[in-house]
Structure formats: structure tokens, C-alpha cells
Amino acid sequence: MYVLAALRFALLGQLAALVSATVTDPKILDACPGYKAKNVINLGHTLSADLVLDGKACNVFGPDIEKLKLQVTYESKDRIHVKITDPADKRYEVPESVLPRPKADLLSGPLTSEIRFNYTTSPFAFSIYRSSTHEVLFSTASHPIIFEPQYLRVKTNLPANANVYGLGEHTDTFRLPTHNYTRTLWSRDAYGVPQGNNLYGNHPIYFEHRTTGTHGVFLANSNGMDIKIDDSEGTGTTLEYNVIGGILDFYFLAGSESDPTEVVRQYADVVGLPAEVPYWSFGLHQCRFGYQNYIDVSEVITNYSAAGIPLETMWTDIDYMYKRRIFTVDPDYFPLDRMREIVDYLHSHDQKFVLMTDPAIAYLPDEGYGPFDRGTAADVWLKAANGSSPFLGAVWPGVTVFPDWFNPKTQDFWTNEFKLFYDPNTGLDIDGAWIDMNEPSSFCNYPCTDPFEQAKQQDLPPARTSSPPDPDAPIFGQEPFSAKRHVKRVDHSGDDVQTPPYAIANFAGNGALSDKTAYTDAVHANGLIEYDTHNLYGTMMSTATHDAMLARRPGLRTLVITRSTFAGAGTRVGKWLGDNFSEWSHYKQSISGILGMAGIYHVPMVGADICGYAENTTETLCARWAMLGAFYPFMRNHNADTSISQEFYRWPTTTQAAKNALDIRYRLLDYLYTSFHQAKLDGTPVLSPLWYQFPKDANTFAIDTQFFFGPSILVSPVIEENSTSVDVYYPNELFYDFHTLAATQGGSTTTLTDVNFTTIPVSIKGGAVLPLRANSAMTTTELRKTDFELVVAPSSKGTASGSLYLDDGVSITQKHTTTVEFAYKGGKLTVKGTFGYPTGVDVSRVRFANTKSTPKTVRLNGKAVTPDKIAFDSATGVLDVTLGIPFKSSFTVELD
């Protein structure tokens, strides 16, 4: 019976895909009648109209809806909201409880807007154009809108060779291909993060960049969709949305004619500003799926210390659990008292601890498993299609249930489980939370008629393969390693939510929407079903976990790292890029991945598994990756139980590479912290592609092997295996080597040779004043006791600027802060600020790059500095001025 059902479903899926491919021929769709606008009411800041079907229905994937409602709102001078709905039917919309929407400025309108809405009535088509230049940014002309129960289609024209970015999550190039390219948005457990596939998260936002400006388009829709970009029709490049539900809910962002980062800030106005994270979270994190027992964990901590590599946070994957059940520890392999001993040791050494928590909870009625029993009593599980029994999946602990994040009681349940298991006095006192498998992932293909049999066939939970350690074995004494919510129910009666008429290109399992995840007909407490809300599950779990962590430590910032995200997730959590491989291609792809999350989607606390998660790394790959990873905002070494160990101390080259890169990172940590604070204030990205800063330079548009870390640090890693050289493009500005401060005039590609396996090319863009720690340290606590030094790297115009933000590093609301602005012009450095938070350290020196000679006089606050405190290097043009003054007030340094 099961085999026949699976075969039938597979055949239906293949048939649906075949029909989709045939019917979505652009010529067929562009021949559909579209709509005409009637009863137009234009009030200036708003416009509304009825859209009535303009001819014989196409009915490509269901009956065309005959009458729609158009609502256009000028929400601000740089944002237009266009919404098309079915007035006769309550269709699903992304709930504001998940994605709060910005309010409109009632004084906005076309006369003051930087972009404008234009339309034709018959056939109805609309366009968005830039007010200053009348340049069309988005246009549906010649492409009729199609609006059916389970299929929405909107298509716009793009320029030839368009520069389009976003539409994540993906592992494709940062600038998206424009030929026969499809981006599918449907969350899935994407082991191996393959190119061209749908992955864990969904961010239906794209930026389009032209030399005349940059704008953004956000579709606030969480249903499954294919977004196609193609130039093969012979009529130019087009971008087409094919959505299987919901409504058309567009936000058009004007961006800027001169500053691409302006559109990033405008997008933050829609989805929210990114979260500030604790200072310690920028340190090095170490994890592995495959630590066999608590002794393994303690040895790693000891070995990092012995190798002299600064380890800030130790992580533990699901290995610690008893039979893979969350909120448990294995009493033989990870006994609670020994794990508490490890946590106490870490905390006594100013280090931190993080554990994995999955959403899937073992289905164990009558077995005394507290989390299941308490969740069942509170009735917080996602329900099967019948609306009463819990939906069952098969995940690591075997047959499982899943929390329903729309249930108003689930937050209290989740918070209580965190309070119980992570109690500092009786449980494990974690400093951050790691959530995984929250697409949500299940190991069943649809139809999974018997999850109990599936769990049995897949040996879930998997048995231990090693003997438990001696429970009395000492830890931290081993010889160190020697290197060598409220929504009305949507009526889906008559809809096929398992095999919708239009088949998106879902790569999970056999391609069915319900493969390897919760079924699309699973029901939430508010009546919504997974068909509509699937892409929100990870973000909603993120919010619940953030709030649970906040309840544990009121007033303190949280670090929550998740796998699945939707628009707005970065307001509370960070993310890692999932289960990559130890391959050079994945090392390279990680750059575009972090640029997308931090530079577009507002999830700046992002990183990839350094050295690769699956398969075996090599000494040189791990060395290169350790150095690249030092410039991810979230820096974590993590790999799988089927791979060789890859902690940085395992190989001499990797050890030295990690030390060298961490030395740079830690000295830059306050600069990075300042960038995150600025992102929290206005949405300015903490990472950026080169074209964000050089928008007129067409050579930068496709570069995704270099990036800016913060506003001024250019990172240019070696990309090719076994290579010791790299081609670096320096845009037309001065750039300075981070170590020597030697200047290079940009404007061309330079081949850097002799880039050995412990070195990564890092440059300072001209025009920056950098606040650096004078030395690195083994922990961020120790680092904050280290003096500052300032580096002045003038632009080609001879000026430079920068900033520094300091606070206690952990509190959400700060009583005292220090904000400093640096400005250099005409040989004078001005340091001016408010010093509310005590730095407790000195400014040891100032380093002036690109100086022609020793000045006659150097003055500190108008008084001459003695010659013994001045040193000039004629080979590099660097002037060092020793100060040794307390960093607690404003000052000036003048070169005469």
C-alpha cells in the first residue's frame, strides 16, 4: 500500500511539473487577458482601483479571479507599497505578528517621492520610475498579471545584462545570472548547499544596480515561488514571479542615484533593524557534530589554549543528548555534573558555552519525557490535517512532534523548557542558543504514511558507536594535542496543497512540497496551514528562542544562531550558512553567502562552517578557510561526525594561519562592533561588495571573491587550491596594506604573489581612521583591557574619517556609552567624542600612513611631542607617534 501511494504521488508530481513547464511558456502567459482598471480613486498619497478581468480567462493553473482590488500607498519619500488582493475571498497574507509592517507617512505623495507609480487602465499595467530621471525601474507592460487561487504571476522588464542581487538564500554568484535562471523559495534541509537549488531560508528581496542608481523590490509573500530571470526571449531581460498562493504585496524602494547602501537602509525600514549581539560573540567559536563524550569536549578546550589560539566559545552539537532528545543529557557520555564542570571551567576563564536545540521533540507518550508531556498538556503541537491529532515526523530522536509557533501558549512552553534545562544552578548555563533543523526538517518523503516504520528503517535515534568514558576520569588535565499570531482562517477547500497546479522547483526528496518537512496540510492553532506558512517556521522558532533566552537573562543581549530564516529574522538572530562541504568551491561560495545575508537581507551575524562541514578538509584548505573565516561576522569552525577532526590546532600550517588571522580580527573587533552598532541605528551594512562603495565602476559589479569588512577593510582571499597568488582588484582609490601600511594606487587589477598559506591579503581603503587594539588577546574580556592605537590612512584627497562605539558589550539598554568621531584633514587629526563608558585603557600611538617625510613638529593638543616619540619609515611612508595618553577625552594631533 505504501509503495503504491508513493508511486502514485511521484507520477502526479512528474505530471504537474510537465504541465507547469508547458503552460509557463512566456508566449502563452503573455497572451493572457490581464485586467483593466476601473473605479480609480486617486488621493495623492494613495490610489485604489478595481481590477476586472480584461477578456476571456486564461485559467492556466486554475480559474482566473475576475475581480481584484489594487491599493497603492506612498508610504515615505523613498517607498511605495503596491498591494493586489481578492476582495471576495480572504487570502493568506504574511502575519504582522511575524513581520511587522512600517506605518505610512500621511504627508508622503508623488510630489515629494523619489519614485512614482504610473499605470495604464486597459490593459492594466503599472510601472515604478525614478522621479528625477524618469527612468523606469519596474514595469509590467506587455506582461499581464495573472491571479488565480494557487498561482500568481507578475513579470517585469530589466535592462540587458542587468545587475541583480538578492533573492536568497542561495549559493549562486552574488550577481545573479540572467539567462534561463530560476530561484526557488521554499525552505528545505539542503545538505551540501548545492548551487541552483532552494536552500534553508527565503528572502524575496532583490536589488538592481545601474550606474544611474540602485533600487530594491521586496515581495512580502511567504508562499512557495519560482522567480525567473531570463534574456532568451529575444525581447530583453525579464524577471518573473510565479507564486503558488497568498497575495501580491510589493514594496518598491527608491534607493539612491549615488549611494547603493541607501537601499539597504530603506529595506531595514521595512523588515526591521538588525540585532546587536554581545561583544564576546565576535570571538572564535568551536563546534563539532561527533564529539563522543564530555572528555572530547574538554580536550578541545585544553588544546586550543595549549596551541595559543584564542577560543572564546565552545559549542556542543546533538551528541550531548540522550537518544537525540532535546533538553536532555546522556548520563553515560555527557553526564550533567561533568558538563556543568566544563561550563564552570569556561566561565572561570572568561569563555562561553553554547548548545544545540532542535524543534523536533520526541513523541513519547507515557514515558515520562518532560518536554513532550508538558507540551502535550499545553496542547502546543502542530496538528495534522484533521486539526486534532499532532502532526508526526521522523527526525533524530525518532518519531517527533513539532511546536506550533502560532499557538499563543507555545512561547510560555518554550521559555519554560529553556528555564528548566538551562538553569544556571541545576542545569547547563548556556551563553547562547543554536537552533537547527527548523525548516522544519523531517526525514520522510511524502507520503510518509507510517513515521514509526520510517524511524525504524532509518535507525532513529542512531545507536552510540563507542563505549562511555570512565565517569570519574579527570578533565582539563590531559596532555595537550601535539600538532603535527492572530489571523483569520484561510479557506483552502478545493485547493490542492500537496501537488498544486504550478509545481515550483523544490529539490527536496522527490520534489513534493511535503517531502522531508512538515506536510503542507498541517494545521496551526490559528487555522493557517503549512502550505502558506512553511517558509516562516524557522524565523518563528528564532523569535521564540530569542525571547526564551531573554527571559533567562533579562536585560542582556542574546546570541541565537539559526539555520532557516525569512525576511526580518535578523532583528533577533544570526545565522550560519548550513551544511557545506570541505571543498574549495564551497569556500569560495561562502563569500557571496555572507554578502547576501549581511549586505542585503539584514542578517549580519552570519558565517559559514569554517573548513567545511561534511567530507574531509585538508591542511591547506583549512588554513585558507581559517583566514577567510576570520572576516565572517560569525566565526565558527564546525564539521560532521563522518569527517576527520579539523580543529585549528590539528596542523601546523592551519595553527599559524588561524593565529595570524585572529590577530587581525581581534585587533579590529571594536571596529566591527562599531559597524554592528551603526547597523542597529540605521541599517548600514556591516559587510559589502565592492560596488556598494564604488557604484560607478562597472569592474566591481560582478566581483564576489573580495569584500569589505566594515566600511574600510578590503579582504581579498586566495581562491584557488594550492595557489600562493591572487588577482586583487583595487578600485580607483588609495589602498594600504594592513600590516605595513604601504600604499597602492587603485584603478586596476594587481596580482599578489608569495601569498603563503598563513597569509590573507587585507587592505585599508584610503579615507579611513581605524581604531585598533594595539595587541590581540586570548579572550575578548582580556582584549578589552588592551590599549588602542589609531591608524590614519588618508584618501587620495588627503582626508580620512572614522568612528568608535563602546559600551559594556552585553546589555540591551546601556547606561553609559562612548562615541568617538575621528577626522583627518590638512595634517590634523581630531578625536572628538562623548566618553560616558570608561575605556579603562590608553591610546598608545597614532600611525599616519602615506606621509612623505618626518614633520618639523608634531603637536598633541597644541604641545610639541618630543622627538623620541616620533618615528618615520621612509620605505613605507609611515609616521608613528607614541602618545600613551588615557583614552577618556577628546584630543588633536597635528603634523607641521
* Residue 893 CA neighbour count, 13 Å, CB half: 27
CB neighbours of residue 896 within 10 Å: 10
**Residue 183 pLDDT greater than 50, yes or no:** yes
Q: Report domain 766-896's class.
A: mainly beta
DSSP string of 759-776, one letter each residue: ---EEEETTEEEEEESS-
Per residue in 282-318, is it b (16+ CB within 10 Å) or e — as a string? bbbbbbbbebbbbbbbbbbbbbbbebebbbbbbbbbb
- For the segment 123-152, what is each residue's pLDDT rounded down to a tens digit? 999 999 999 999 999 999 999 999 999 999
Cβ contact 817:810 at 8 Å: no
Q: Is 342 left (phi over 0), alpha (psi -120 to 50) or beta?
A: alpha
Q: Give the per-residue pLDDT at 487.
A: 46
Query: What is the separation of C-alpha 277 from the centre of its chain, rounded to a whole number of angstroms?
Result: 14
| Residue 868 CB coordination number (10 Å) | 7
Query: Over pLDDT 90: what percentage of the chain?
Result: 93
Section 669-676 average pLDDT: 98
pLDDT exceeds 60 at position 850 = yes
Q: How big is the CA angle at 355 (ends 353 and 358), to the nearest 5 degrees?
A: 165
Burial 790-829 (b: 16+ CB within 10 A, else e): bbbbbbeeeebbbbbbbbebbeeeeeeebbbebbbeeeeb
Burial-class residue 6 by CB neighbours within 10 Å (0-12, 13-18, 19+).
middle
Residue 150 burial class via C-beta count within 10 angstroms: exposed 0-12, middle 13-18, buried 19 and up: buried
Q: pLDDT-based confidence at 464, cuts 50/70/90? A: very high
- C-alpha cell, 525: 492553532
Q: Does a cis peptide bond (omega within 30 degrees of 0) precede residue 604?
A: no
- Does position 56 have pLDDT exceeding 50, yes or no? yes
Round to whole Å and give the CA distance between 772 and 845: 10
Residue 416 CB neighbours (<10 A): 16
Q: What pLDDT, in 10s, does the model give residues 252-277? A: 999 999 999 999 999 999 999 999 99
pLDDT at 896: 93
- CATH class given for the domain over 32-271: mainly beta
Instruction: Assign 269 to helix, strand or coil.
Output: helix
- Averaged pLDDT for residues 169-177: 98
Q: pLDDT at position 485, please?
A: 40
**pLDDT at site 27:** 80
Tracing cell 602618545 back to the chain, one arrives at: 883
Which residues, including other chains, have CB under 8 Å from residue 477's CB and lie 6 or more apart?
none
Q: Which residues is 18 bridged to in the sheet?
A: none
Q: How would residue 61 be classed by pLDDT, with cut points 50, 70 and 90?
A: very high
Collapsing DSSP states into helix, strand and coil, what is residue 747?
coil
User: What's residue 3's pLDDT?
Assistant: 42
The Cα-based distances of 123 to 38, 51, 67 in angstroms read 11, 10, 14
Q: Which residue intervals of 562-638 are DSSP H helices?
A: 584-599, 619-629
Q: Which residues are catalytic?
A: 436, 439, 579
Look at residue 25 in the predicted model and tell me its pLDDT.
79
**pLDDT at 1 exceeding the cut of 50:** no
* Three-state secondary structure readout of 413-434: HHHHHHHHHCCCCCCCCCCEEE
Residue 482: burial class (beta carbons within 10 Å; 0-12, 13-18, 19+): exposed
Note the pLDDT of residue 480. Answer: 77
Q: How far is CA 337 from CA 100, 331, 419, 420, in A?
A: 43, 9, 18, 16
Do the beta carbons of residue 288 and residue 638 sit within 8 Å?
A: yes
Grid cell in block for residue 472: 570519574
Length of the chain: 896
Q: 7-30 pLDDT, tens per residue?
A: 444 444 554 554 455 566 788 899
Q: Which residues contact 167 (CB under 8 A, 6 or more apart)?
A: 176, 183, 185, 203, 204, 205, 206, 227
DSSP string, 476-534: S-SPPPP-----PPP--TT--SSS-SS-----STTS-TTTTBS-TT-B-TTS-BHHHHG
CA angle 37, 42, 48 (to 5 degrees): 50
Residues near 37 by beta carbon (within 8 Å), at least 6 away in sequence: 49, 50, 51, 70, 119, 120, 121, 122, 124
Q: Map out the domains of the chain as residue ranges.
A: 32-271, 766-896
What gap in Å lies between CA 155 and CA 126, rounded to an integer? 11
Q: Residue 332: name the closest of 324, 322, 340, 344 by CA.
A: 322
pLDDT above 70 (res 4): no
Q: What is the mean pLDDT of the chain?
A: 95
CB-count burial class (<10 Å; 0-12, 13-18, 19+) for 503: buried
Instruction: Measure the CA–CA gap between 304 and 302, rounded to whole angstroms.
Output: 6
With bands split at pLDDT 50, 70 and 90, how would you rate the model's confidence at 734? very high
DSSP type of residue 107: T
Please, which pLDDT band fits residue 474 given cuts at 50, 70 and 90?
confident
Mean pLDDT of 481-499: 77
Q: Which helix (H) or strand (E) holds 374?
A: helix 370-378
- pTM of the entire predicted model: 0.96
Continuous H helices in 73-189: none
Residue 236's pLDDT is 82
Least confident of 18-32, 83-97, 615-629, 782-796: 18-32
Report the 3 state secondary structure along 684-739.
CCCEECHHHHCCCCHHHCCCCCCEEECCCEEECCCCCCCCCCEEEEECCCEEEECC
**Residue 232, pLDDT score:** 86
Q: Which residues share a beta bridge with 247?
A: none
Confidence of residue 477 (pLDDT cuts 50, 70, 90): low
b/e map 70-106, b = 16+ CB within 10 Å: bebbbbbebbbbbbbbbeeeebbbbbeebbeeeeeee
Structural element, H or E, at residue 2: helix 2-23
